[in-house]
Every structure is written in C-alpha cells, then in structure tokens.
Structure 1
Amino acid sequence: SSQTGASQAGILHGNNEGIVAFRWIEKSNGNQMMQCSGITKVPELEQRISDGNGLLVDNGASRSNLFSGDTDNVIFTFSKIMDFKKLYNKAWYSVFSNPSNFARIIALFLADIIREIWSQITHSIRNVRPRIKRGIVYIPTRAATNVFMREINTSTLIGDMMVGDIDVAYSTYLGYDEIAHHSGVRDSDAWIALRAMDQQIKHLTDANKYCPRDYQFVIQSDHGQTNGATFTQRYGETFEDFVKSLLPEDMTVFAKLNSNEDHFAGTSPFSREKKKIKKEKEEEKELNDSEVIVLASGNLAMIYLTQWSQRLTYEELNNYFPELIPGIINNEYVGFILVKSQEHGDLAIGKNGTYYLDNGEIEGENPLEGFGDNIVRHLKRTSSFEHTPDILVNSFYDEKADEVCAFEELVGSHGGAGGDQSKPFILYPSSWNVSDDEIIGAENIYKLLKENLAELKK
C-alpha cells in the first residue's frame, strides 16, 4: 500500500511482506489489530520484517523514521523510541551546542503556529474546498513536524557529517506529508512546506563542502498524495454507517477510520503514547466484542467479518450477506473491491465489470482502468498476504479532476490506488549504477541503495 509503513519497511529492511495497509486485523491472532504506528506495534513489526541486514546496519544513522534499518544510532525512530539506553546520542550536541540555534528553532516553531492559525482563518473566510476541520490539537502537531523535527533532522545530520564517522543516514522530513493531509496537495500551505524542505537540502549540500569526507545525497519520496473531498463529505455519512446499512441490524461493528491521531510524529511522543496504550486496551475489548471490523487507510478501506477465523470467499460473502457486496460496488464513490473467489481466484469487481486477476480476463468494463499500469500486480500481491481483509475497498478515482475519496477525514490522502499517491520519486547521483528498467516497489529501492552503497565502500 502507498503509505509510510509499507514503504519504509521495504526501503529500510527490504521486506514489506504482509503489510496490508496502515492498519489491519489478524484473524489468526485473535483478531488483533496491527498498525504502522505506536510504541508497541512498530517494534513488533520491525521484528517481523528485519533479517538483521537493514539499510543502516553498517555504521548507519536513523533520523525521524518508523523503522531503524537495523542501526542503534537513532533519533526519533519509533521502533526503538522506548529503548531508553538509545535516547542519548552525541548528534544532539550539534543542536544544543549553539544556544542561538535552539532559540532559532523555537522562534520558527512559534511562527509556524501563527501561520497555521492564519491559514485556518483564511481557509474558512475563503470557504476553500475541499476542507476539513483541523482543530486546535493539529496546530502544535503541524509545527512539531514541519519545523521542530525538520530542524532537528538537519542539525543532527550536519553534525554527523562534520564528524564524518557515519557511512549512511536515512532521514524522514514529515512536514509536507502532514500539511498536505490537512490542507491539500494543491494548497499554498503545502508549497510553503516544500520550499522549506528544499532549503534543508541546500543546508546539507552546503555543509558537505566542509566535511572531512564526501557524502552523496539521495532525495526521495516514499509515496505521493492525491487530493479530494472525503467519503463522508461526498456521501453525507461515514463509511462505517454505510457498511452498517448493508448488514443485519443486530451485528456489532467496530470501526477505525482515522489514522490522523496515530501519525508517528508528535509534540510529546511519550505522553501521547501512554494515552494510546490505554486506548489500545479499550479498543481490544471492543474488537473482541465486534462481529464486523471496518478500517481505513486513505482511500483504501478494509472489511473483516470476524465471526470466521479464515478469509471469507466471494461465494461465502454473497451467501451470508447478499446485500453487502452489491451495495458497496454500486456506491458512486467506490471504484472497485478486491475479493477472493473459491471458483475464480482473485477478483477486482467494479460497477460494470469484473477483472479476473488470475487469468487476466475482463468481463464487461475494466474496473481497474485509470489506476496505473501495475495495479494488477499490486492487487495480486496484496491478496496473497495472510491478513488481507474479506473485502478490500478502493475509492473511485476521477482522472480528469485528479481526485480520490478518502475514507478517513483527510483532504490529501495515500494508502490506496489512484493518482499521484502511488507515484513516488527518487533523485540519485548520476554516477550510480541504476538499471533503465522501471523500479516497482519499495523493496527494490532497498536493493538499489544497498548495491550502490557497497560500490561506494570498495
């Protein structure tokens, strides 16, 4: 899926097998909800995907990432954020050694708070559409990701470079992602964040001129984003309520359609995570009591029927819940669904046609038209995962307007298919050995980086 968990797992560890979306249900594990955030879930996820040969295993540094890439030289890295032995890092000296530098970061932080307040006011006055309610809590969160973590990343990376005792570093700049989610990818807020990110890259390349050794730079996005009003804004009710309307009234439904509060960056990760752990325990009880679980990851939604320990087939779904699949498919804001048929294998079903993914046959109109050249390959791989939902739902994609319809309340979204969310980029040194073949999937970025790092060390 086109979200940070799957992308960083592939890039930093060469393995994103089984990561269905931002969060998913594991029926065979007592209906446990696994997700790409949280101080308990991310370490467990890294244990699953790591073989000990991550991108950063050889004298590397991780800055503001989900996963460590198998290095212990970490700052703001969620998979190891509760390992208190690793909290101290000499790279912090580059931040605090100059009092004016930290004062400058605080001033920029406060300025971004004012910028966000002004943005919310002007968006409301101008009635910018699509628009979501960003609220008070988002204001310091934006400033933390867009300014505080950005400046810490750059300062510590420059410190690492000036000392010259690391061979490779991987750092995530979160500001654009956070702002594009809430303001939209076309808004001036997003362009301002991008210009500030360009400035950070300039700081790093300028610092390289004074380093004891020469560093090469790779600039990449691990996914894109696609704009659009949300499902709730378009349809008038949440996707949870829509699914409920297609099921028997006595069925209990648990839904989590918002990943916004789970973004791994934050103003106070430790205090926030204590609250999350408490909330996770409350959610576990709800999960155990629910017969249907509905989750969202951008414009991708997942439906699990948890009365059954196995993934239900297309035929079983139609037998047990005859209104469910037809109702979902016929919703104007749904593009296609992915289900597994006992008779035909993997099926992508749209309003006017079915794509038989196993043999490539199409009945009626192609439901995957406009979702990218590699969509069939991606869907077949996702369907092969152990914890793929009974029904995987992807929103429609309006190619003309370049818009999708997120099932969570985010204007800019990623996690499913449709538009630029599945079109990341990589900018690498021209001297590198890179094939002209199309690079498909984050795991192949890992291979590319590993191979060229090995060449540089010769």
Structure 2
Amino acid sequence: MIQCSGITKVPELEERISNGDGLLVDNGASRSNLFSGDTDNLIFTFSKIMDFGKLYNKAWYSVFSNPSNFARIVALFLADMAREIYSQITHSLRDVWPRINRGIVYIPTRAATNVFMREINTSTLIGDMMIGDVDVAYSTYLGYDEIAHHSGVRDSDAWIALRQMDRQIKHLIDANNYSPRDYQFVIQSDHGQTNGATFTQRYGETFEDFVKSLLLEDMTVFAKMDSNDDHFVADYTPFARKERKIKKEEKEAQELSDSDVIVLASGNLAMIYLTQWSQRLTYEELNSYFPELIPGIINNEYVGFILVNSAEHGDLAIGRNGTYYLDSGRIDGENPLLGFGDNIVRHLKRTSSFEHTPDILVNSFYDENADEVCAFEELVGSHGGAGGDQSKPFILYPSSWNVSDDDIIGAESIYKLLKENLEELKS
C-alpha cells in the first residue's frame, strides 16, 4: 500500500512518475508541495523532505529578514489555535451537525497548515519575485482544505480560511508591482469538497466492520479508514519526528502482508482488495467465492454504486436498482450513475484501467437535494470519490493564454496546458 502521507513512499512515487520534465524543471521553485516538479529549489516539499541538505534555501531570508515577521507568525498561529478551540466549544454547545471529534492534536495541526505554512508560502514567494531569478514557482495552500475536512464546507471557519487565502493572493499580486520582472498568476484547485455525515455516523458501524460481516469469519482484514491529513501535516512541518513515522510504516507493512483483505478509504470512496489472489478478481469470481459480499454492499442504503470488472461484460457500475455496462453503454434498471456528473463514465473507465485497481471500488450515495455524501473516513467535508462539489475543480489563468474551449478533464490535461503555455512564455 502506498499513500501520500508515507514519508518513504512519496519519494518512490515521484521516482516512478517523473520523466524529468516537471513543471519546475527550468529554473523553478517548489513551495509546500507534495512533489518537486523536478527542481532542487525547495521549501517544505514532501518528496524531498528527508534530504536535509535541501532544507536551507535563500528564500528563507524573506521570512526572517524582518525581526517582527516571525513574532507576527507566532501570534497568528496562537490566534488560530484559539479560534479552533472556540469553534470546537461552540459546535458542541450548539450541537452543530454533522460534526466529528476533532481533538487536541488537531488544534496545532490546523494552525500549522492554515497559518504557518500559509505565511511561509507567501513570504518566500514574494522573496522569489523580489529577487527575480526564479522563472516559475508552484505553491500549495492547505489551510482551507484542512479546515473544510474537519469543520465542514458550510462552517464559518471554512469561509474565514478562504478569505485569508484570498488576502495572500492579493499580497502576491501587489508584490508583482514592485518586482524586477513581471509574473503571471495561475490559481487552481484540483477538487472541491462535499459535506455530509460519515458512514459510521449514519450506519452505526464502520465500513471496515460492515465489509467484515459479509466475509468468511476466519478472514483477517487490514483497514485504513482514518484521515491521512493529520499525519501528512505532522510530517510536513520541520518539527516532525520522522524516525517514529518510518517505524510506523514498517509495522503497517507487516500487518498488510498478513491480511486476507485490505479495506481503504479516501473520502466517500472505498477500496476493497482480496489479497489471496494476485490478480483483480472478476465480478463472476467474486460472486462465486463470496456470494454475500456484492449484494450486501450494493443493498446498503449509504452506498451509491460499486465498480467491478466482469469477464463477460467488461466494466460494470452496479447500484441497488440497476447496472450500467460501461463498455457498451447499456443500462439495466435504474442508472446507478445518475447525478454523479457528466464525465463519471469516463473517469470510472480510466480508474478501471489501472494496474492496481481494487477488486471492488465503492462510492457512497449522493443526496442531490441536500448536496451530501457520506465519507467512509471520519471527515465532514470530503473528496476522493464522486458526488457534489468535490467533482468541481477550477483553474484561473491569464486571458492571454492559449487554452482550448474544450472541457479540461483530468490532471494530465492541466499539466499539458501549463507546460504548453510555459513554453510559449519562454519563447
């Protein structure tokens, strides 16, 4: 199992997918990203976080050159912690629903993403602009994502985080008026989030235990149903205890190797792997070996559809009252993909083509009237599956750019769009 909070796994992922021609390969700067974009000009870039030789960067000067700047960041950090404590108390007193138990550890975690990393990002980017020797920079602002996951997309804290992010963008645009070079700005979000009470809250049982009840009693199950965000942020900051994290990964790997079934979650998407077989089981084999599994899952009222592969019919999206034959376009009964977006078939076909697609991929229900899903992990706002605003990414780019009027679908298309226009700018 490889996950993006794995401190030893992300470098392996980057090595697998990089062709040496990332967005930042030509005199670029990476600020608070998962991957490096093939540059060595790094600050808080997770794929290189263990390379201590790259921790020093002259862009840090823009953060600490003014003695009051660090004190300001600390004050904002403490204020955000106080805001989170107040939020947890008021949510409890007002019985805001849905809500999750955010706990003590989340309080500094939120402040780290929403304040510390935000301020470092903006300060170092402005420093890059003032020096003028960086051609392209890419930076990730995590604060809104973190808060919306835990407080929900409708909570006032999420809107406050958005307004704070908007101010950071204004700072960058204002700084452009004084930089020796003229920089263009691209603002993008790779996903939205959809609100809703979790599967455990609605059903009264974790999805892991629900799946276990449909299998043979002697089968061992490994499940990873909790949010990775807290672990991700903890390792992202310079104060992380990385040796403990590595040991945890090693222990987890041993548990995985001993398990007959692996159940994973990403928002309202769940993945079920039956590890006694090295290949992906077909729909027919699943029904033969585990006759209660698929009927049990699709008849759960909080499941929208599952994706499986049939030896006879190819890819199938199956809901409680109907089946969508993705290869032929035929629908038996009700369309299980109705309301999940115009491109859902295309996305499911792409997912099914992956080498390590799970035996059963499960997407929760989507209530179009309430605009809600139910996450299989304990998050109020979620993304990872289909349904609602999580499926609505956006990109704002300069009007002078050459961009087709066709729909932009998938991360590969965004990468191509950015690379083509960077080449145009260079020429």
Calculate the aligned-residue CA RMSD, in Å: 1.0
Do residues 93 (structure 1) and 61 (structure 2) align?
A: yes
- How much does 1:265 deviate? 2.2
Aligned equivalent of 1:15: none
- How much does 1:261 deviate? 5.0
The amino acid of 1:78's aligned partner reads: F
Aligned equivalent of 2:360: 391
* CA–CA separation in structure 2 for the residues paired with 1:370 and 1:289: 39
Q: Secondary structure at the match of 2:375?
A: coil
Q: Secondary structure at the match of 2:263?
A: strand
8 Å CA contact retained: 1:229, 1:405: yes
Aligned equivalent of 1:216: 184
- How much does 1:268 deviate? 4.2
- How much does 1:456 deviate? 1.1
**Residues 308-327 of structure 1 correspond to what in structure 2 (within 5 A)?**
308-327=277-296
Distance 1:52 1:414, change over 3 A: same
* CA–CA separation in structure 1 for the residues paired with 2:227 and 2:80: 23
Aligned equivalent of 1:166: 134
Aligned equivalent of 1:23: none
Aligned equivalent of 2:385: 416
Aligned equivalent of 1:104: 72
Aligned equivalent of 2:103: 135
Among 125, 128, 141, the residue aligned to 2:93? 125
Among 257, 261, 266, the residue aligned to 1:288? 257
* CA–CA separation in structure 1 for the residues paired with 2:358 and 2:322: 21
Among 373, 390, 414, the residue aligned to 1:404? 373
8 Å CA contact retained: 1:38, 1:262: no
Single out whichever of 301-310 and 278-287 deviates more from structure 2.
278-287
Aligned equivalent of 1:336: 305
* CA–CA separation in structure 2 for the residues paired with 1:206 and 1:165: 18
Structure 2 residue runs without a partner (length 5+): none
The amino acid of 2:218's aligned partner reads: D
8 Å CA contact retained: 2:305, 2:336: yes
- How much does 1:270 deviate? 5.6
The amino acid of 2:245's aligned partner reads: K
- How much does 1:223 deviate? 1.1
Among 309, 315, 331, the residue aligned to 1:362? 331
- How much does 1:37 deviate? 1.9
Aligned equivalent of 2:118: 150
The amino acid of 1:295's aligned partner reads: L
Single out whichever of 359-368 and 266-275 deviates more from structure 2.
266-275
- How much does 1:260 deviate? 3.4
Do residues 195 (structure 1) and 163 (structure 2) align?
A: yes
Residues 19-77 of structure 1, C-alpha deviations (whole Å, 9 max, x = no match): xxxxxxxxxxxxxx111222211000001110000001001001100011111111000
The amino acid of 2:10's aligned partner reads: V
8 Å CA contact retained: 2:106, 2:230: no
8 Å CA contact retained: 1:38, 1:273: no
Single out whichever of 273-282 and 294-303 deviates more from structure 2.
273-282
The amino acid of 2:17's aligned partner reads: I
Residues 126-172 of structure 1, C-alpha deviations (whole Å, 9 max, x = no match): 00000000000000000000000000000000000000000100100
The amino acid of 2:247's aligned partner reads: K
The amino acid of 2:89's aligned partner reads: I
8 Å CA contact retained: 1:333, 1:405: yes
Among 41, 46, 71, the residue aligned to 1:78? 46
Among 374, 394, 401, the residue aligned to 1:432? 401
Alignment TM-score, normalising by the size of structure 2: 0.98
Alignment TM-score, normalising by the size of structure 1: 0.92
8 Å CA contact retained: 1:223, 1:421: yes
* CA–CA separation in structure 1 for the residues paired with 2:315 and 2:231: 32
- How much does 1:262 deviate? 5.2
* CA–CA separation in structure 2 for the residues paired with 1:261 and 1:374: 27
Aligned equivalent of 1:207: 175
Give the % identical residues: 88
Residues 315-342 of structure 1, C-alpha deviations (whole Å, 9 max, x = no match): 0000000000000000000000000001
Do residues 375 (structure 1) and 367 (structure 2) align?
A: no
Aligned equivalent of 2:2: 34
The higher relative CO (CA closer than 8 Å, separation ≥ 6) is in 1
- How much does 1:269 deviate? 5.1
Aligned equivalent of 1:27: none
